[in-house]
Structure 1
Amino acid sequence: MTLNRRTFIATGVATATMAAPMVRASGKPRVVVVGGGAGGATAARYIAKDSKGEIDVTLIEPSRQYYTCFFSNLYLGGFREMQSLGHSYGALASQGVNVVHDWAVGIDRDAKTVALAGGGSVSYDRLILSPGIDFIEGAVPGWSVASQNKMPHAYKAGSQTELLRAQIEAMPEGGTYVMVAPPNPYRCPPGPYERISMVAHTLKATNPTAKIIIVDPKDKFSKQALFEEGWGKHYSGMIERIGPDFGGDKVSVNADEMTVDVDGEVIKADVCNVIPAMKAGRICEMASITDGNWAPVSGHTMQSRIDENIHVLGDACAQGDMPKSGFSANSQAKVAAMAVRGALTGSKVFPAKFSNTCWSLIDSDDGIKVGATYEATDEKIAKVDGFISATGEDAALRKATYEESVGWYAGITADMFG
């Protein structure tokens, strides 16, 4: 089935029903959602919509304009404009969600309150955390968040993405772009390699003698055969990958000198895109619900295994077999919304089912995808079956795959933001 805005929403839950703004009432059960991305915005919208005003829903999100990390690589490749990735929260507010643009800076699990940077706190009966990712300081020696304006990560979309594109456009003729790829697990497994494809697409047109080097700590990566086939076809001789066998797991950087040290060999970079190791957004640590870098959950309800009154979605949680992606977060949000509504209003709760598809663009109309369906077990979210594009596919199928991804983007953003 080809996905577009209408069919994507129909395959999830019914299209949004417009409603008057919710009147806050102390007698209603209260749900607070922290983080307004693919997980949080979807959960807030579905709880407000499906409870028909029976639940008081507050969404805490500092950004008034949210830029999706998924599809941001296409901006680097010149296939999208930045404004096409930005979404506001006005429609959610009109559908009964109390949207608070502020930072959540603390959680008191005993008092069931969320502290706000602007002062005061918001109380909850159930809390949903969907804060995305933060980076592990020291994961790449020589790099810290303080270095991100010289060596951008661009793995949180917006100004970082714009900065990286500006750096690419300013590269000298025949210059060198270096990406330091992240170790597993991380947000969007094919993302770094789609980014390489999009950077190569831009450089092929504007700076064809430029070189791209990937320094990668992993033995293998998502859709590897498909990407490598595409790079050979479209960008022959431009891209080199240094894996762990050749020092890709022994890397440090110097942001002031714009150098990358790979197991003692120093590479001078004109652009250096450092994507460090990742962990759950910091609010999960503040709530003391992480086990290592991620927040363990029950797949049946997306409830924290540490606090049953908290649900964790998307990139921040330990997801079992599911990858960390926008599609996954949206799928998990619907499971959590149903579970929360059932716990607070007594509505029926059905067994948890999940799905995910990750599309990637290699070159114009050359789209590939990977995906699977999942179910909840007592141990984890477990893969049931899956699919992946094949090497050697014809141009018509690859074009259809790309067009499917464009329809999905329209569908999921409508599902998230109403």
Structure 2
Amino acid sequence: MTLDRRAFIGTTAAAAATLAAPMVRAQGRPRVVVVGGGCGGATAARYIAKDSEGAIDVTLIEPTRTYYTCFFSNLYIGGFQEMDDLGHGYGTLAADYGINVVHDWVTAVDRDAKSVTLASGGALPYDRLVVSPGIDFVEGSVPGWSVADQDAMPHAYKGGTQAELLKAQVMAMPEGGRYAMVAPPNPYRCPPGPYERVSMVAHALSQVNPTAKILIVDPKAKFSKQALFEEGWQKHYSGMIERIGPDFGGDKVEVDPAAMTVSIDGMVEKVDACNVIPAQKAGRIAHQAGLTEGNWAPVEPDSMRSKKDPNVWVLGDATSQGDMPKSGFSANSQAKVAAMAIRGELTGSAVFPARYSNTCWSLIATEDGVKVGASYEPTEEKIASVSSFISDTGEDAALRRQTYEESLGWYSGITSDMFG
């Protein structure tokens, strides 16, 4: 599977195409409010506005004026991307697609009144609501750590300043120092992400601090692309990386941000930089709106419609939907299915059977890229995987270089698909 920017946009847009002309309701244009301007929200807003050809009034609410992607932030840490490369604005969505972009926080959703309340005051009514809030963290999931400690021990699992902070701390480590990562339990955003991060930290340290060591404390017995990462670590960073899984106390960890220590099953380890990635849950507004069961928001597999409210759709990392991983590609794919379903309800346009896809690329070292992915279809119970692929161990350098270059084309494609 090879993707470039044009192919990514072309193949994914085809799934959302419509054959029928929109029918505007007599009392005026129907209103769709989208909460969250990431892979799910920005894509949904753009496709609803674009494919309804102005028949639907679309408002996108996102507090940040520049959206920094969490995907590819590991490549920033590794020195392969600049932070400015990861920042994207919303001007094109407003100017070219007529989307009302509101930079504000949503503090409440009133599902009975069908309105959202903004932090700045006032409320926006909707006929259909799309909620794509990403993730928040489960307080107390790593004893000793809370969000108040994220400057001392960054999570860097949301895009932007946290990645900058973590990179600065890694680069400031003393010669021969020690970097620790506390990996998250399943399920969490981007399953290969922590291990790509270890690879990128190792790459950065190999350039400036080659005697440094990396410690992974992991509550999981196994992880995504494990054989590929372990092969790459042995090849490129031999002797630098140690992983402690649950058999040796990786599920019994505490941290002390003030002392910069990690306790593993009672054994205290002093470190120089520590990346704590806690257990995760749906973004706060999904819980406030009553759209969740436990940590995640359940959705209908054929449309991403909330199982809690027929007028609400939930997208991306916040959802409980079945086999799809929590990733930017997944959210983008889900957004197109949701946009088609919403457009069909509001304008009478054609709705086609849902199809979903995902690919996750990871960079292990310079031009050593690997990938995993699948195609999915809805069943009555869930979104189910129907085919999958993964890079092989032992691949030659040319294929790994091609995989890395493919990931660059995908990044260009998906960000154009999101922001226009």
So what's the TM-score if we normalise by structure 1? 0.97
1:180-219 correspondence runs (5 A) = 180-219=182-221
1:50-129 correspondence runs (5 A) = 50-94=51-95, 95-129=97-131
Gapped regions of structure 2 (runs ≥ 5): 17-25
Letter in 2 for 1:190: P
Query: Which secondary structure state, in structure 1, belongs to the residue aligned with residue 71 of structure 2?
Result: coil
8 Å CA contact 1:29, 1:55 repeated in 2? yes
- The CA deviation string for residues 300-358 of structure 1, in whole angstroms up to 9 with x for no partner, is 11011111111000000002000000000000000000000011111111111000000
Give the C-alpha shift of residue 130 in structure 1.
0.4
Give the C-alpha shift of residue 378 in structure 1.
1.3
Query: Which secondary structure state, in structure 2, belongs to the residue aligned with residue 252 of structure 1?
Result: strand
CA-based RMSD: 1.4
Task: Name the structure 2 match of 1:5.
Answer: 5
Paired residues in the alignment total 411
8 Å CA contact 2:373, 2:388 repeated in 1? yes
Question: Among residues 135, 138, 146, which one is paired with 1:136 in the alignment?
Answer: 138
Query: Which secondary structure state, in structure 1, belongs to the residue aligned with residue 406 of structure 2?
Result: helix
Question: Among residues 223, 232, 254, which one is paired with 1:230 in the alignment?
Answer: 232
Task: Name the structure 1 match of 2:243.
Answer: 241
8 Å CA contact 1:66, 1:87 repeated in 2? yes
CA distance in 1: counterparts of 2:271 and 2:67, whole angstroms:
31
8 Å CA contact 1:141, 1:253 repeated in 2? yes
Task: Name the structure 1 match of 2:390.
Answer: 388
Give the C-alpha shift of residue 237 in structure 1.
0.2
Give the C-alpha shift of residue 15 in structure 1.
12
Query: Which secondary structure state, in structure 1, belongs to the residue aligned with residue 180 of structure 2?
Result: strand
CA distance in 2: counterparts of 1:13 and 1:320, whole angstroms:
23
Task: Name the structure 2 match of 1:317.
Answer: 319
Task: Name the structure 1 match of 2:38.
Answer: 37
Letter in 1 for 2:239: G
Task: Name the structure 2 match of 1:372.
Answer: 374
Query: Which secondary structure state, in structure 2, belongs to the residue aligned with residue 220 of structure 1?
Result: coil
Task: Name the structure 2 match of 1:351.
Answer: 353
Task: Name the structure 2 match of 1:335.
Answer: 337
Gapped regions of structure 1 (runs ≥ 5): 17-24
Give the C-alpha shift of residue 26 in structure 1.
6.8
Query: Which secondary structure state, in structure 1, belongs to the residue aligned with residue 34 of structure 2?
Result: strand
CA distance in 2: counterparts of 1:217 and 1:372, whole angstroms:
25
Query: Which secondary structure state, in structure 1, belongs to the residue aligned with residue 13 of structure 2?
Result: coil
CA distance in 1: counterparts of 2:14 and 2:59, whole angstroms:
22
CA distance in 1: counterparts of 2:304 and 2:32, whole angstroms:
15
8 Å CA contact 2:15, 2:355 repeated in 1? no
Query: Which secondary structure state, in structure 1, belongs to the residue aligned with residue 274 of structure 2?
Result: strand
CA distance in 2: counterparts of 1:26 and 1:265, whole angstroms:
68
Letter in 1 for 2:238: S
Give the C-alpha shift of residue 14 in structure 1.
6.1
Task: Name the structure 2 match of 1:20.
Answer: none
Letter in 1 for 2:7: T
8 Å CA contact 1:153, 1:273 repeated in 2? yes
Identity %: 74
8 Å CA contact 1:234, 1:363 repeated in 2? yes
- The CA deviation string for residues 247-298 of structure 1, in whole angstroms up to 9 with x for no partner, is 0000010011000000010011100000000000000001011000000000
CA distance in 2: counterparts of 1:292 and 1:272, whole angstroms:
29
Task: Name the structure 1 match of 2:21.
Answer: none
CA distance in 2: counterparts of 1:411 and 1:15, whole angstroms:
16
Question: Among residues 266, 279, 282, which one is paired with 1:280 in the alignment?
Answer: 282
CA distance in 1: counterparts of 2:5 and 2:15, whole angstroms:
10
8 Å CA contact 1:9, 1:15 repeated in 2? no
CA distance in 2: counterparts of 1:364 and 1:193, whole angstroms:
15
Letter in 2 for 1:74: L
Give the C-alpha shift of residue 3 in structure 1.
1.6
8 Å CA contact 1:187, 1:315 repeated in 2? yes
